[in-house]
Each structure stands twice: as structure tokens, then as C-alpha cells.
Amino acid sequence: MTLLLVIMVVLGYLMISSVSPSAELMALANGRDVPDTQFWRSASTFYQQIENYGVYGRRLYLTRVSPVDIFIPISQALFLSVMMTLVFRRAFAPQSRWQMLNVLPFVAMVGDYLENMSVVTMMLAYPTQLTELATASAVFTAVKFIFSLVSIGCIGVGLLLWLWRKGARR
């Protein structure tokens, strides 16, 4: 668990620190954050953003953001799933169906990988516009966010239930 936490912190640092190209990409796109962090975006908004990136910004995204983003989905899914499993072992009976919720982070992971592949494909195909893929990419991003937040919420609810049951036994 500690190793997963360290990996998540390091990857997070690489994505939001001064070594990350995010601030530079935001400046190129008139303040719009990288596509991966936008809960919803239209195809036209996405294409306007990567047009604003220019050749330099698209190359920056493909060579500096995308390589790090290979490891984030699996690391996050493992971290959240292990955390959920540990909490749910204390909050619910071993045979409880609630134990199976620890697969939710992997739904987020699949959404994240589909989003990443679609964004890279669209950047490589640019200036050809793959409008349907851009729309699907926004759905993948929403799936990533929704299932990540639901997973975090489940961990919180499990912690509260565990603490409540622990207090009730006293």
C-alpha cells in the first residue's frame, strides 16, 4: 500500500509540478487545462484547443504528458482498489456483495486508457478531425471521473461505517 501511495504521489508531482508541461499547454490553449482534466468537452472545443497548441504544443503533449499518463490509470486503480478492499474488510462481512465494489476503480482505469488512446490518436491525425472519436473521448473522460469519485466515495462510506460499527461495539 505504501509503495502504491509513493507511486501516486510521484506521478501526481510529475503531472502538476514545474516539471510538468501543463502550465505551458494551458497558456497555449488560452487557459484551458489539458483534455484529460476536463470533465466534459465538445468535439469543437477539443479541436480548437489542439489547434491553439500548435505543432509545438501537440508535440509537448505527446512526448511529456502521454508517457506519464501510461502509468497513472493502473496506479490509481490499484491504489483505490487496495484501499477499498482494506476498508471493506473491516466495514462489511467477508461474504457481503459490497466487497465486490473494489472493481470500480478498474472501470475508471479502462475509461482513462480509452481517453488517452483517443486523445493521442486525434492529436496524431490532426488536422484531420475525428469528431465521433472526440465525442467518445469526452465520454471516456467522464467515465474516468465518475468512477474515480464513486470509488473514493465508497472508501469514505466504508470508513464511516467501520468507525460507526467499531464505536457501537464498545
Cβ-based neighbours of 30, under 8 Å, separated by 6 or more: 52
70-93: average pLDDT: 94
pLDDT above 70 as % of the chain: 92
Q: Residue 18: which pLDDT band, with cuts at 50, 70 and 90?
A: low
pLDDT of residue 1: 67
The residue among 2 and 91 whose pLDDT is bigger is 91
pLDDT in tens, 36-71: 888 889 999 999 999 999 999 999 999 988 998 899
pLDDT of residue 22: 78
Q: How far apart are CA 10 and CA 38, in angstroms?
A: 22
Is 154 in contact with 80 (CB distance < 8 Å)?
no
Residue 112: closest CA among 141, 150, 80: 141
Residue 32 DSSP one-character state: P
Whether the pTM exceeds 0.95: the reply is no
162-167: average pLDDT: 87
Residue 39: closest CA among 148, 138, 134, 152: 138
Q: How far apart are CA 158 and CA 164, in angstroms?
A: 10
7-21: average pLDDT: 68
pLDDT of residue 102: 96
Is 162 in contact with 65 (CB distance < 8 Å)?
no
98-121: average pLDDT: 97
Residue 92 DSSP one-character state: S
